Structure 1
Amino acid sequence: MPRAHLVTSVSNVPLTVTGISVKLGVSPSTLRTWERRYGLGPTDRQAGSRRRYSTADIEALTHMVNLVRSGVSASDAAAVVLAQRSTTYPLSDDIAVPEIRDIVDAAQVRDLQRLEKYLEASIASEGLVRTWSNLIEPALDTILSSEEGQEPGCSPSAMLTLAVLKILAAIADARPDSATSQQESVFVVADSDHALAAHIVGVALNLRGIFTTVMDTQSHGNQKASERLNSHLHTKSPKIIIIMGQGARCERLVSLSLTEGDAHILLVGADSPSVLDSRIQRMRTLTACVEETIALVTTSRQSKQ
C-alpha cells in the first residue's frame, strides 16, 4: 500500500515545538500529546536549553501527520513511525508490501533475510498489529494446515516465527523511556497457541510507553503457571492482565486473577474462557485489545495528573 505524502519538504534546521506546529499544521498541544503518549518528541534533549526537533524527528512527525490525515488512527500511526525508527537496515524502495503467499514462499525456502525485509515493509506500511492479523497469522495458518507436513529440521513455521521475533526485538529497542516505568504495568498471559501473538501485543504496548511483560501458561520444573501468576500479582501488582488462551487452565488463571488481585482483565479471542465479572472485558481481536489497553492506561494516567 503506497503511503500518502500529504506533507513534504523536511527542513535540515532544528525546530522548536512552535516551529513544528506551524510547519505541519498541527497544534502544539497535539504534538505534546503525541510525545507523552507515544514518545514522538525531540530525541536530543539538553538541559537548560529549548527543546528542538532534529531532521529525523521532523521526518517522523511528518510521517505521523501523513498517516493520520489519510485515515489511520493516531495510535496505529505512532506504531508505524516507531517501528520505522527501529529499522536495523534501510528498506529498498522496490520492496512492495508482501502478500500472504510471499511470506509462505520465503519461509518454505528458509530465506530469513527476505522474511525480515517483508515483515519490516509491512509493519512500516500497515503497523505491527495489522501485520500480525493480516499477514503473519494467516501465513502461519497456511503453513501449519498443509497436508504435506514439514520436513524434519526444515520448519517453515519455525523460520517465520524466528523472523518475527527478530523484528520484535529490534522494534522493542525503540520503545520510549516511559515503557520502563511499572506504575501502570500490563501482564500478558498466553497459552502455547497464542505465545507469538502475546509478544506482538507486548511490543505494541511498549511502543506506546506502557510497561508490559509476558508469561506462558505451561508448568516449568516444579512450578505451575498459577503459582507464577500468583507471585507476580503480589510482587508487581499489574493494573491490567491480558489473558490469551482457552480451556480449563486459562479459566483457572482468570479466576486466580480475580481473587488475588484488583487488576482490570481483558480476555482475548472468541474461544476465551466464559467467566462473568465486572472487571472482565472480552476482546475479539488483537487490535481491540491493544486499543482498549491504551485507553485504560491513558485514563489512569490522566486521573493522576
Structure 2
Amino acid sequence: MSGEDDTDDRRGGGLTTGEVARRLGVAPTTVRSWDRRYGLGPDAHTGGRHRRWTPADVARLERMCALTATGLSPAEAARLARRGPASAPAPGPPPGSAPPDGPPAAPDGVPAPPPRAARPRDRARTGLQLGAVRQECRGLARAALRLDAVALEEILATAIADHGLVTAWTEVAMPALQAVGRKWESSGEKYVEVEHFLSWHVSGALRRSAPTVPPGAPGGTVVLACVPGEYHTLPLEALAAALAERGVPVRMFGAALPVEALVEAVRRTGPAAVGLWAQSRTTASRPLAQHVAAMEWGVRGARRRPAVLTLGPGWAGRAVPGLSRPGSLAEALTAFEAVVTR
C-alpha cells in the first residue's frame, strides 16, 4: 500500500468492506463470503456493526486473490493465505549476483506472487495482459479467473449504472474479454471455461440493462443479425442494448442467420436500417449486403430501401460501395440514430 493509503487506514481505524472490495477489484459480497466461508475476516474486532480491515488483513486478501488467479480452488487458496508467506524465506543471492530464475516458492510448492513493486501494472495480478484499463476491468478479469458469478454480476451491473452501457462495454467488458481470449489462445485451451463463463455473464448483463422499447413507426426499426456462419454475437448484443437504451426499436436475430431468414426478416419488418455483423473475413459477404441494400417495399411511388451498415472486423478490406462501415460502437450508434430519425 502507498503511504497515503496507510495514513487513511490509521485515521479511520482501518478500511471498510466496501473500500477493501474496491481496492481488490472484487464485489463486497465476495469479501464477506471469504470471511464467512474461510475465516479471512479482520483479526481485530471494533465496536458497532461495521468491520474494519487493517493493512495486514488486506494483505491476506490480496494473497487470496493472487493464489486463486493461479488456478487454485478458493478453499486451498484461503488455507495458504491464512498461513501467510513462508516464515523462513530462503536466503537471497549474494550482493551483485543475478536474480534467481522465476518467483520464490511458497508453502506446498505454490508460486508466491512477486513483491508489489515487481508486479507488472498491466497484468492485474491475473497473468492477463490488460494494459491501462479501469479498475472495474481488472476486477472483472480477476472474478472471471475465479469463476466468481456473484462478483461478475455485481461489477457489470455497477459499471453499467455508473458509466453507461457504451463505456461499460468499451472500457470494462471488452478489454477483459479480449485479454481472456488472448490467454486462451496462448495456453492451449486452458482458459476456455473462463472465456465462456465471462461471455455468458456479459451477455446476461447486456440484456438486463436494455429497456423494452415499443415498436416504432413503419420504417423506424433497426434489424441486427450476424451473417451466415458467424457466431460471435457479443458486440452485436452490446449494440442492440445501447440502441434500446437510446429508445431505438431493435429486432435482434443473433448468430448465423440464414440468408433466406434474413431476407424474410427484412421484408416483414421494413426496417430503416440493417446491421450485418461479421467477425471474420471468411463470413463477410458483399453479395449478401448488396442484396439486402437493394430490397424494396411500400406502395408504388413511395418505395423504400433500408440503409445497410456492415459491422465488425470481418468487413475490413471488404468495403461494400455505398454502404457505411462504422469503426466503433459509438460510431454505429450515431449512424443508426441518424437513419432512424431522418
TM-score range, shorter chain: 0.5 to 0.7
When structure 1 is superposed on structure 2, of 95-104 and 192-201 the one drifting more is 95-104
Choose the corresponding residue for 1:186, options 202, 208, 222. 222
1:268 — aligned with what? 311
Quote the offset at 1:195 in angstroms: 0.5
SS at match of 1:266: strand
Alignment of 1:213 with 2:276, yes or no, is no
Tell me, what secondary structure is at the counterpart of 1:243?
A: strand
Aligned match of 2:334: 291
Q: Is the 8 A contact 2:160 2:209 kept in 1?
A: no
Structure 1 residue 233 and structure 2 residue 266: aligned? yes
Matched, 1:131 2:168: yes
SS in 2 for 1:289: helix
Q: What is aligned with 1:118?
A: 155
Identify the match of residue 281 of structure 1 among 302, 320, 324.
324
**SS of the residue aligned with 1:210?**
coil
Alpha-carbon displacement from aligned partner over 1:117-149 (angstroms, at most 9, x marks no partner) = 111222122221222122212211111111224
Identity %: 21
In structure 2, C-alpha distance between the alignment counterparts of 1:137 and 1:100, rounded to whole Å: 9
Give the paired residue count. Answer: 197
Q: 1:171 aligns with which of 205, 209, 214?
A: 209
* Structure 1 residues 260 and 248: alpha-carbon distance in aligned structure 2, compared to 1, 3 A threshold: farther
Q: Distance in 1 between matches of 2:177 and 2:157?
A: 17
The AA in structure 2 aligned to 1:281 is: S
How far is 1:295 from its partner?
2.4
- 1: CA distance between counterparts of 2:331 and 2:312? 10
Partner of 1:148: 187
Unpaired runs of at least 5, structure 1: 1-91, 220-224, 300-305
Structure 1 match to 2:239: 201
Deviation for aligned residue 1:297: 1.7
2:137–2:176 contact (8 Å) kept in structure 1: yes
Q: Measure, in 1, the Cα distance between the counterparts of 2:255 and 2:207.
A: 22
| 1:257 to partner: Cα distance | 0.8
Matching residue within 286, 291, 300 for 1:256: 291
1:43-90 deviations in Å (ceiling 9; x for gaps)? xxxxxxxxxxxxxxxxxxxxxxxxxxxxxxxxxxxxxxxxxxxxxxxx
- Cα shift at 1:182: 5.6
1:243, distance to aligned residue in structure 2 (A):
1.6
Distance, in Å, in 1 between the alignment partners of 2:193 and 2:309 is 33
Larger radius of gyration: 2
**CA RMSD in angstroms, aligned pairs only:** 2.5
TM-score, with normalisation over the residues of structure 1? Answer: 0.58
Measured in 2, the distance between the counterparts of 1:229 and 1:270 equals 20
Aligned to 1:108: 145
- Tell me whether 1:247 sits opposite 2:281 in the alignment: yes
Distance 1:230 1:135 in 2: 35
**Counterparts of 2:232 and 2:330 in 1: how far apart (Å)?**
15
Counterpart Cα distance in 1 of 2:329 and 2:277: 10
Greater helix content: 1
Equivalent residues of 1:150, 1:156 under 8 A apart: no
Give the deviation of 1:247 after TM superposition.
Answer: 2.8
Q: How far apart, in 2, do the equivalents of 1:149 and 1:156 lie?
A: 13
| 1:55-70 correspondence to structure 2 within 5 Å | none
Which SS does the other structure have where 2:252 is aligned?
strand
C-alpha distance in structure 2 between counterparts of 1:193 and 1:104, whole Å: 23
SS in 1 for 2:325: strand
Judge conservation of contact 1:226–1:256 (CA < 8 Å) in 2. Answer: no
Mapped to 1, the partners of 2:260 and 2:311 lie a distance apart of: 22
SS class of match (1:267): strand
Give the alignment of 1:73-112 within 5 angstroms. 94=19, 96=22, 98-112=135-149
Residues 218 and 166 of structure 1: CA distance in aligned 2, closer, same or farther (over 3 Å): closer
- Runs of 5+ consecutive residues of structure 2 not aligned to the other structure: 1-16, 23-133, 297-304
For the residues of structure 2 that align with 1:142 and 1:188, how far apart are their CA atoms?
26
- How far 1:103 moved relative to its partner? 1.4
